[in-house]
Structure 1
Amino acid sequence: MSEAQGNQAKAAGMIPPWRIGVDVGGTFTDLVMVDAQGALMIVKTPSVPANPGEGVLDAVRKAAANLAMPVEGFLAQCRLFVHGSTVATNTVLEGKGAKVGLLTTHGFRDSLEIRRGIRDNPWDHRKPFPPVLVPRYLRLPVRGRLDSEGAEVAPIAVADAVAAGEIFTREGVEAVAICLFNAYADGRHEDEAARALAESWSGEWVSRSSAIAPTIGEYERSSTAVMNAYVAPRVVTYLRDLAKELQRLGLPGALLMSQSNGGVVSVDQIADRPVNLVLSGPAAGVGAMTLAANALGDDNLISMEIGGTSCDVALMSAGQVATSDALEIDGYHLAIPSVEIHTVGAGGGTIAGVDAAGMLFAGPKGAGARPGPACYGHGGTEPTVTDAQLVLGRLAPGAYAGGSVTLDQERAREAIRTRVAEPLGISIEDAASGIIRLVEQHLLHAVERISVQRGFNPAGFTLVPAGGAGPLHGPSVAAMLGARRVYVPRQAGAFCAMGLLQSDVRQDYIQVFMRDLDGDVAAATQVAKAAQDGFAQLRARANEALTREGFTGDQAAYRRALDLRYRGQQSDLRVELPDGEAFDPALVRRLFEAEYARQFGHIQPGGAIQITSLRMAGFGLLPPLEAASAPASNQAPHRRETRRVWFPDGWRDTAIYDGSDLAPGQSIAGPAIVTEQTMTAIARAGDTLTVDAAGNFIIDLAERGAQA
């Protein structure tokens, strides 16, 4: 960047070098830039579903234009570029993945289609399972067998893999998954199959279950390997093309991607495991929750990130967001490390209507980026939650989302009138309020799913509503949960994009470890030594990966965990071990029983405990973002206007404030609305909204009954 361009950036209030996070959502692509002094710039552009990479580049161009800089100069001053992408997710949801072939052990050809046979609703016997991603004629058996310890029972028949490759070539298979029985214990048979396959099939995309998901559970490993093969051609090609274009335009460093585990990784390292990107966008919210926890001084948070099409809920307890290896996307089971996020179809673009039985519904279908809500004026005619908010005065007509769209109240009223009000025989306003009430019930159940059903009392947590739509629902949902406080980040509309810049590089490793925790002294000593050796091997692998990314010494950190169960049970509990301590079976028992009691309310005193897996997470520590701060103001907040707004207890004259006018230390009594560039926050009658030192909004909720 030239000296003149640097002066232009400084004139715009931004000091290089800076960090950039770009999150592609269903409706908007969000870019957050943080400069060398912690100043923020947020850019929103419409997403481009047909080519998400173009949406990323559009956001970059707009950000550069805001600083009156050429794109090349803008990117040249970027020291960290992190991207959260929905490409892997959308590839699955849209059914646009590759044509996949599967090599499986002789006798297990149909296990992918048989599945587990478990239904979420045991009373619903008619709902079909999702289509099998690999048809039977492309699921080809290979003879050979390893036992559960990895010892060879029968050598692999490499000729079977060669013959399968000939069929794959003839059938136009684009990617191949290999999942052989007991490969979690030793991947050598899968390695041999891959080498033999290359003799007769020249494709680039081969996914081995032993490299992607080395866990017990042949079906889950198979499903994960197949999904990796299914998404790889589209996802990896997209990422490589985007990284290449960004570097051509001047980006000096590597493009980093947000993973499902809440960490980030380079494109080169994720290229073999693109299935780990299926929660790429929502998982970035973990970093944003860390920012909120640091600013608020409270590490017990529930985030409720509501975008255009969905709501993602996550829970942070004592500063940690739980991870799981049991992820489901559109009915497909995946054994990959992922943060525990519950997603429901409830967003600003959620479509409402009246069904054939005369009942109001809202979701799960959404209006998407195009045409979007009816009020956008892009051709949409279905009423959405955003249309209802506009009709109820919670949103104002005119420019919205930083000028990306313009809200038309008459279009919103017409959509609600024709699709909801007239079919139900009620007023437009009552129809709109019914849509909001119904959606907030969906949101309540989503939060209860990730809190109450996992042994947490949500009343003891602070709710963090985020996304462009979240802060409009936050106080009502928090009150229904029994919570006392809501924390609204000023950048709530770019929550995940902010989180991208607070996420460390992360690599996860697992080793199956079937041992009894209990036993005599000799047995306990043997188990402890084997566990220590296993953790050492996993740490060495994590260290090697982090070193390749440039993280050594104090820049690297590691966390150990165990999967445990009472003997005879089918599911595991994960327990994290304290840093630096030797493996102590008595400590492990105490940690397991404490977690078991929290989740289920009881333990088995003296019950036999079994270890099933060792886990190691390696972290490449990136410099944390410093929360911005400003001096407190002793001035009264400036009210822009007053207008009639609907609340759950009725219509009220409501003070409207512009967030840019509010300073730390100022306090507002509800009912009130605060408008920001990327979101709108609301405080009900009896609530008190205070601006904290970082410029974010703390809403202390009214006591029950105080709103009347």
Structure 2
Amino acid sequence: MTARIGIDVGGTFTDLVAVVPERGLVVHHKEPSTPADPSLAVADGLAAILVRAGLRPEEVAGVTHGTTIGLNTIIQRRGARIALVVTEGYRDLLEIGRSRMPSSFDLYAGKEEPLVPRNRIVEIPARLGPGGEPVTEPDAAALDRVAARLEAIGADAAAVVVLHGYTRPAFEEGVAESLRDRLPALPVTASATVWPEVREYERALVACLNAYIQPLMEEYFTRLERRVRALGVTAPIFISASNGGSMSLRSAAERPIETVLSGPAAGVAAAARLARESDIAGIVTFDMGGTSSDIAVTVGGTPDLATHTTVGGLPLILPVVAVNAIGAGGGSVVWADGAGVLKVGPASAGADPGPVAYGRGGDRPTVTDCYLVTGLIDPATFLGGRMPLDVAASAKALSEIALGSPTSPGGDAEEVAAGALRVATAGMATELQKIMAQRGLDPRRFTLVPFGGAGPTHATMLAEEVGVAHVVVPPTAATFCALGAAGADLRRDFARSLRRPLDAAGAARLADVLAELSRQAHDWLAGQHGAGLAARLSAATDMRYAGQAYELRVPLPVTPDGTGPFDAIRLDAGAAVAEAFHAEHERLYGFRDQRAPIELGTARLGVVSPMAELPSVTVPAGTGAPRPTGHRRVLLAGAWHDAAVHLRAALGVGDAFTGPAIVEQDDTTVVVPPGWSGDVDRAGNLHLRRRKA
């Protein structure tokens, strides 16, 4: 059997998807999350989905797990007690940062606390020159002194950053190894080993963040593996990565920083696959879960990767799928400020106690409560009827929100709920339009692909607000990130900064670096579970005209060379590299400068090894005009409507209907407002189309 299971741990629910290609089977399941120990919900959900899919534990070929534990640890600042070892004279590296004010308009804005306080930063006589030549090397006495200081600090982990360490990663790794020899119980991270890219501050943060979350992540991975094995599942466990791929459990334990944005990235990867199969040129993914909503843009079936992002207010220079948070989630709290103005979020009720309707002690109404009061979701069929909701409690909590003035006794629950949904939608639309405008894109030319538990429910509200006329809801929308994890390929990104002109010597050095990175990719793949040499390589480099402040990432024309795909890489002539940069600069800025010198920045190489093909879902033919199973009153666009209710499981290929309508699944609800129509394609995707301007 080649059955694979994907898992996505969210703040409210833990989603699981089992994929069995031999049977053409895709089974999904949602389990309430257990924030105190997320592995408990994973184990319970895994046991449940094995039963639902009719699988024996030994029939599972692989388990891929996405988690936000590392991300939440960074945001909440509850990681390990770490120390930082830096080149002499650079103890204030994190304090100085980029010397930027938190706010240009607030002279009293407080500076964010550095990740490592100054009293836990230790200097060492180790330094490289810009060309990689050793300027200062630590002797045994210096290493003994640093080790003694780390022991006195009582650090749980440490990071090492040497000036210009990116030019010769082996030098910095040697310093880290010497400290490990003296302190065997202390995990020591070398920054150039994690990510050898120029800029000491950002590179130091990558190393510190890796050390910061490593003890917690290792402990979690140990618990996770123990609980999975206790169920009789002996298959390899993989962890979703922030770049949309996956890695072995051991790799994730060594470099947990590469997993911090794994959940959203897996969903975007699954959506990119949907776009390729459905021949859709450009999509905007809309992932609305219990805590937040995220978007990402995919053009040509390939998710955009960003080389710079922000995590918990700190810059992160690792490649990640470009995902942007745009607003509230289903658990976001609805409230009124001191002036009686209706607000949504940013606080979330989470999984415990959750929305008021859950009946778990929550007393603050949420977006989910608004869906319930406006009739968009059925209290009796939530989660397939496994979790009945209390609509009366939701209405009572919403009616107690004081609108208009702090002394107001409250408003009509239905009006408050409808207003809160409009507020949430307006906030999402504003952020989406801003993000698209920054990239020169028009959202009206894209298709919206919603997923997450609340994404299909809120999708057409957002589409109406921004002018999108086409929405595609996948069959397993509520567990789409878990589906993406189940089909995630092994993927790893490598980089090395060059900082030299693009001349004959520069082009030769670029080719040598790419060949070295390809060998590193081969070694990494060889250490993954059962991975062969079948893989795809991609290469790029950051370049700029001499004197420019910013660089462009430009794909490179590279071809495999030698007896195997990793033995060497031959780079086309430097003229081809220069032309690739000129063309990209002209595409973005409308001009090129053939006479200006070009500078090379960071060389980048990505390796992808396909792990699993998701089966094509077989959907039976429909009648063309499905009969609704019932009707219910829903509040949409400020008016009540009698909406037809359809069951997603009963819809077949070719079935079509018009709004107002509700399509119910056991883990989410799709809202089709007036003026929209719905139809089902061969893959079971539900296409919603706006019929009027």
Alignment of 1:309-458 (within 5 A): 309-421=291-403, 426-458=411-443
Aligned position for 1:515: 500
Worse-matched range after superposition: 483-492 or 565-574: 565-574
Match of 2:236 among 254, 262, 266: 254
Partner SS, residue 552 of structure 1: coil
Q: Which moved more, 1:628-637 or 1:405-414?
A: 628-637
Q: 1:677 to 1:202 in 2, by over 3 A?
A: same
Q: Which residue of the partner structure matches residue 682 of structure 1?
A: 671
Change (3 A) 1:229 1:272: same
Residue 635 of structure 2 corresponds to residue 646 of structure 1: yes
Question: What's 1:288 paired with?
Answer: 270
Q: 1:611 aligns with which of 577, 600, 623?
A: 600
Question: 2 CA distance for matches of 1:299 and 1:471?
Answer: 21
The answer to whether residue 531 in structure 2 is matched with residue 546 in structure 1 is: no
CA deviation map 1:602-660 (0-9, x unaligned): 66575443220111101111232132133432352121222221222532221111111
Q: 2:32 aligns with which of 46, 51, 70?
A: 46
CA distance in 1, matches of 2:583, 2:639: 45
- Equivalent residue of 1:153, what SS? strand
1:7 aligned partner: none
Contact persistence 1:354–1:360 (CA under 8 A) = yes
Q: Which residue of 1 aligns with 2:562?
A: none
User: What is the rounded CA distance, in whole Å, between the counterparts of 1:483 and 1:146 in structure 2?
Assistant: 53
Amino acid at match of 1:133: L
Partner of 2:42 in structure 1?
56
1:535 aligns with 2:514: yes
Using a 3 Å threshold, how does the CA distance of structure 1 residues 691 and 199 change in structure 2: closer, same or farther?
A: closer
Contact 2:334 2:367 in 1 (8 A): yes
Q: 1:498 to 1:530 in 2, by over 3 A?
A: same
**Partner Cα distance (1:31, 1:579) in 2:** 38
Letter in 1 for 2:541: L
The 5-angstrom pairing of residues 192-271 of structure 1 reads: 192-198=174-180, 200-271=182-253
Residue 579 of structure 1 and its aligned partner are, at CA, apart by 5.1
1:564 is matched with 543
In the alignment, is the contact (CA less than 8 A) between 2:308 and 2:318 conserved in 1? yes
1:622 maps to amino acid: M
2:660 is aligned to 671
Alpha carbons 1:46, 1:404 under 8 Å: kept? no
Change beyond 3 A, Cα 1:286–1:483: same
CA distance in 1, matches of 2:558, 2:278: 26
The answer to whether the 8 A contact 2:340-2:404 is kept is no
Query: Identity over aligned residues, as a percent?
Result: 33
Q: Residue by residue, what CA displacement relative to the aligned partner does 1:214-248 show, whole Å, maximum 9, x if unpaired?
A: 11110001111111111000102211332244234
Change (3 A) 1:160 1:590: same
Instruction: For 1:235 and 1:110, locate their aligned partners in 2 and report how far apart those are by CA, in whole Å.
Output: 28
Alignment of 1:613-632 (within 5 A): 613-632=602-621
Matched AA of 1:546: L
Structure 2 residue aligned with 1:700: 689
Give distance in 2, aligned partners of 1:455 and 1:58: 45
Structure 1 residue matching 2:6: 3-state secondary structure:
strand
Residue type matched to 2:510 in 1? Answer: A
Cα distance in 2, alignment partners of residues 315 and 369 from structure 1: 29
Contact 1:315 1:450 in 2 (8 A): no
- Looking at structure 2, the residues matched to 294 and 195 of structure 1 have their Cα atoms a distance apart, in angstroms, of 46
- Structure 2 vs 1, CA of residues 635 and 316 (structure 1 numbering), >3 Å: closer, same or farther? closer
Structure 1 counterpart of 2:608, one-letter code: F
Between the aligned partners of 2:545 and 2:638, the Cα distance in structure 1 is: 49
- Give the C-alpha shift of residue 111 in structure 1: 1.3
Gap change, CA 1:316 and 1:563, over 3 Å in 2: same
SS of the residue 2:515 aligns to = helix
Flag as ranges the 4+ runs of structure 1 deviating above 6 A: none
User: Aligned to 2:448, which of 463, 477, 480?
Assistant: 463
Q: CA RMSD in A?
A: 2.2
Segments of structure 1 that go 5 or more residues without pairing to the other structure are: 1-15, 518-522
How many residues in Structure 1 have an aligned counterpart in Structure 2? 678
1:140 aligns to what? 122
**1:158–1:193 Cα contact (<8 Å) kept:** no
CA distance in 1, matches of 2:117, 2:318: 23
CA shift in 2, pair 1:318/1:578, >3 Å: farther
Cα offset for 1:75?
2.1
Shift of 1:449: 4.2
Further displaced range: 47-56 or 437-446: 437-446
Amino acid at match of 1:565: R
Indicate if the aligned counterparts of 1:455 and 1:598 stay in contact, CA closer than 8 A.
no
Structure 2: how far apart are the matches of 1:630 and 1:690?
A: 13
- Residues 595 and 627 of structure 1, relative CA distance in 2, 3 Å threshold: farther
Q: Report SS of the residue matched to 1:419.
A: coil
Q: In the alignment, residue 615 of structure 2 is paired with which amino acid?
A: E
Distance change >3 Å, CA 481–CA 604, structure 1 → 2: farther
Post-superposition CA distance 1:408-442 (Å, at most 9, x none): 11111111111255856643222111111111122
Change (3 A) 1:379 1:234: same
Moved more, 22-31 or 624-633: 624-633
Deviation sequence 1:279-329 (CA, Å, 0-9, x none): 021111132113321342214111010000011211111122121221211
In the superposition, relative to structure 1, how do residues 593 and 700 fare at CA in structure 2: closer, same or farther (>3 Å)? farther
Counterpart residue type for residue 63 of structure 1 = I
**1:193 shift after superposition:** 2.6
Contact 1:455–1:600 (8 Å) recurs in 2: no
Residue 564 (structure 2) aligns with: none
**Deviation per residue, 1:172-214 (Å, 9 max, x gap):** 2110111111111113442343244235534331111011121
Deviations 1:423-464 (A, max 9, x none): 566432221111111111222133234422122222221110
- Mapped partners of 1:642, 1:307: distance in 2: 27
* In 1, Cα distance between equivalents of 2:597 and 2:673: 52
Where does residue 9 of structure 1 map in the other structure? none
Q: Distance in 2 between matches of 1:404 and 1:205?
A: 44
Distance 1:540 1:188, change over 3 A: closer
Q: Give the Cα–Cα distance (whole angstroms) in 1 for the partners of residues 352 and 78 of structure 2.
A: 19
One-letter amino acid matched to 1:624: E
Give the counterpart letter for 2:552 in structure 1: L
Q: 1:197 to 1:38 in 2, by over 3 A?
A: same
Encode CA deviations 1:549-572: one digit per residue, 9 max, x unaligned: 24334x211111111223223332
Give the secondary structure class of the aligned counterpart of 1:537: helix
Structure 2: distance between partners of 1:419 and 1:651: 22
- Contact 1:144–1:157 under 8 Å retained in 2: no
